[in-house]
Structure 1
């Protein structure tokens, strides 16, 4: 069991790494396309690339688990995950139009606090060491992302609501991941979230083929790696990981985003940001022994 726990945590760390590297791709992609357009295409792409993976995995396991025989838990879990993912990613993307990336990064990562708070309502109380990790991670995220005074603008409120969407996403996965095939549920969530985004794209935006093609590389990265690979790793890994620990590990996305900005874009890290990174890593190490 301990081996499975560490394996799950390593998969979540890889998930955070992929999401952190996707920051540049997502920033570039939405420069030419609206939030619904970018999210719709990348989410549908994430679902489509998983379909052949499902067929391959079934052959490797010598099973024939058709979609019709998958059971109501898969359809319910995948649909709820898709709705939560659609809400979180949409609110976050719109919020970024009215607030800074630093504030958005910190506010989104507040799911690291919201997850254990929500679990209190179902009688699951994290230990003191885990609570200490949560607090340390929140302080580290503040040092890493915040610049200047903290005040809630329209964009901040939208991103904060998006953080609740990501919180719900983590908790829904925690509930259903033990009951269903993880890759199928991941595929279904992308198809649900992507379809909703595409409908909104045609209702509220004017998609342009040249604009979409000009953002081809960012969309492919965000769709195949950030969605298809990373979110699927999240679903599979959470089978063996406490959701509070999972949220702590995944919020390292912001740390990796800063590091990739430093390595690939030449963005300098201040002493405050370096301290924030250090505190985040210490929080993750503490959580492993909670």
Structure 2
């Protein structure tokens, strides 16, 4: 393995660990504050973590005609607003859902966005493959075992997490369209700030939070904001420079596994045998959705897969 690939793999693995255990932090934080208060402060902290990186990268930005060095992208605020509202929808549904479900289940259900993304891409002409459909069917079967009760009902928290996964998939498509048009770090900062502002405004209307309550939730908030939003995002950006696509797909999918491990270790969450089978099917479906195209492309490039 090339040294740069090994470095990328380690960074992806660290990102997956941080994001997985963030589900635990998000659940612990709501012992003291409401979901919108938690998200508002969390995403504000995440935005602040990016400020030094934006500042150090300022010399690489296009100059204005007067040499002032200011970024001339009038659509940056619009793009950041759109992406921020998509994050606000996904993060709000995820956070409220965690009030009614476990960290482990939330991690696996949220991870379904990797299956939803290529299926959603069909709406604007993107092509998909058999691995996507096979992965989707397997993930759906796993979701049934994990979330559907004996009376054929789905828990409210699991349903919110699933709808949230759809919004996370929307966000990925939105970023795929926006990112080539603007600076990635500035876009990340703006979308986090928009999400923070929308969350805090909602919290003012529907929640009551005291300074003492926020102080009591300080550790989960700092973890969920500074580490999960700020640091892990930056690690992912760095890792993608020299990433092996298959390695990245596998390692980032481990986020769901680490969420379940964290829920078991820290929160004492226990999953039924039916739930564990469901999680295994969902995880396999996620990997199939991501890896099938990479494997078949390699076979085509190697001459083992013939067409025409």
TM-score, normalisation: structure 1: 0.78
8 Å CA contact 2:11, 2:236 repeated in 1:
yes
Which residue does 1:289 correspond to in 2? 295
Distance in 1 (alpha carbons) for counterparts of 2:267 and 2:156: 29
Shift of 1:39: 0.5
Question: Residue 92 of structure 1: which of 82, 91, 94 is its match?
Answer: 94
Which residue does 1:112 correspond to in 2? 114
Which residue does 1:169 correspond to in 2? 171
Unaligned runs of 5+ in 2: 297-308
8 Å CA contact 1:115, 1:247 repeated in 2:
no
8 Å CA contact 1:134, 1:248 repeated in 2:
no
Question: Residue 206 of structure 1: which of 185, 205, 208 is its match?
Answer: 208
Shift of 1:205: 1.3
Query: Alpha-carbon deviations, 1:86-110, whole Å to 9, x = none?
Result: 0111122223334555654454333
Distance in 1 (alpha carbons) for counterparts of 2:4 and 2:104: 34
Which residue does 2:183 correspond to in 1? 181
Distance in 2 (alpha carbons) for counterparts of 1:82 and 1:42: 14
Which residue does 1:258 correspond to in 2? 260
Which residue does 1:78 correspond to in 2? 80
> Which structure would you say has the larger Rg?
2
Is the alpha carbon distance of 1:168 and 1:12 closer, same or farther for their aligned partners in structure 2, counting shifts above 3 Å? farther
How many residues end up aligned between the 2 structures? 286
8 Å CA contact 1:182, 1:236 repeated in 2:
no
Is the alpha carbon distance of 1:261 and 1:90 closer, same or farther for their aligned partners in structure 2, counting shifts above 3 Å? closer
8 Å CA contact 1:182, 1:235 repeated in 2:
no
8 Å CA contact 1:110, 1:138 repeated in 2:
no
Which residue does 1:17 correspond to in 2? 17
Question: Residue 230 of structure 1: which of 229, 232, 241 is its match?
Answer: 232
Query: Alpha-carbon deviations, 1:124-145, whole Å to 9, x = none?
Result: 11222344344445555666x5
Shift of 1:185: 1.1
8 Å CA contact 1:46, 1:224 repeated in 2:
yes
Distance in 2 (alpha carbons) for counterparts of 1:78 and 1:236: 21
Distance in 1 (alpha carbons) for counterparts of 2:132 and 2:277: 20
Question: Residue 130 of structure 2: which of 128, 131, 140 is its match?
Answer: 128
TM-score, normalisation: structure 2: 0.74
Shift of 1:219: 0.8
Query: Alpha-carbon deviations, 1:225-274, whole Å to 9, x = none?
Result: 11112244556777999x9x988865532211112344556666776666
Which residue does 1:28 correspond to in 2? 28
